[in-house]
Structure 1
């Protein structure tokens, strides 16, 4: 068998085209690896995916991207220079109509100025994306698709989906699967809604146990908002229909904003694995013998920053390992 060190071009197969998978894929591709990314959705993005609407786009996923430290803080500044992001400034209110509104601040928070899914795809660089490609199993150096297609002979297989979705893929890799059993996620319902009235804000942080956040969507006129529920709301309506969850959220929103007229609901989505309550720890989890690794927020912790850095760190280790073996 051809050795890892002697191969001219190394190959990686990545499951999941969210920010963790994209970060890993783009870094490896820039180093000369041949990278294939498989995702069950129609395109890249994961929880930074885009919803196309009549006059533009909106997002029901992560409303902001924030950074606490380098290297992600430097990366966000670079994306600002490229015109992909803009800092969140002003127009931020917290409270509820029945009590009072107060101005608030979000430090080191950014909003996409291009479609978030496009941003993730650009992070992926020259890696090949295979959309609508649902993966059923991972095996040593091998990815098996739901349609029965077997993609093997990868130098490394990397899984970047939420851990509850990864576990069923890992029957052939019990040591990895067992490490994931204690990871728990909390859900969020997100809605696209239109209304008139309320505070003159771009971002509303609710003091409430049902709804968490509303963010104005600027690509389709001033009246469209993405509304994000609390974890408690989503857990209560985890198995509810979209209609029931949407109506409950709209009723809560009208009360919080003091709206006299009904809210128009345009779309909704349940993020069943929105936020890891626990994580494995570290930036990645690997099975060196079988050349399979796991990345993402279920491994590294909450947020876009941790997911991005998880993919970056694993890619750097793989690149460095190749360089050391070649010496």
Structure 2
């Protein structure tokens, strides 16, 4: 009897330990000190959970960019945009109306290489102004023009509106690069999160439509799939500033019909093949539900014969890219991305 009691106690202890480990495994990894400062600043701004709001309400919430500004203020540093880049606001024609673009030009003579840049925000919120630090940094570091696109957003304009706008802006850049002091033979695409999705979707569209493909695609934690059962979704289900409920909310507003979930122009991992796409740089963050799918997409690109460089940054979250002013790993990621762009531009014929 005593022996059986001991066995049962051992089993109970093992089960309890297993549950404890399972709970521990679901906790997001710990952010490094600089990243945590930004997360604390964001929390202090009093934003409400995006998934509980209407799109109109969500667009008025404090952003990670606002948190960076608060950290800079607390450090006694300027919140002015980094100098050395000029910005010109324009519009270009699109399938459902004019598309605002913002042309970031570095100092110098030119003509410069060009990258068409797509901001994040789950296809629903944010704009180029929110993400200003990213195209500004890339323009300066890569010595290239950034054509930042404010595509039409859901739910007012559901899929495929954003993808079609993104492609229209890319083809405009190909045909009009000289007008903005750019080199039409050196046009890349890139973006963050939903913008990373649009960058690789544009690459697919160009391939499928027999248009000139981009010279490179810069994909920063891109949205490429809707599998919310993978390892990073489980581990980062409650992460900040992006979590699983937010992604569900974004997909709900972006999708027009159930079959969109199998359309590669909505979710690039659904493509029959990725062969023929341009070389890619994929940047990932450890504390991000999108980590696993970004790595899987990089692997899939390689498998299909596309040259890929993949880099994961530990201790940082989704949205860290563009925070180079206060997060050292973000500065490293920006420099890395710019170096990859330069390599791709330099590889093109003069």
TM-score, length of structure 2 as denominator length = 0.27
Higher helix share: 2
TM-score, length of structure 1 as denominator length = 0.29
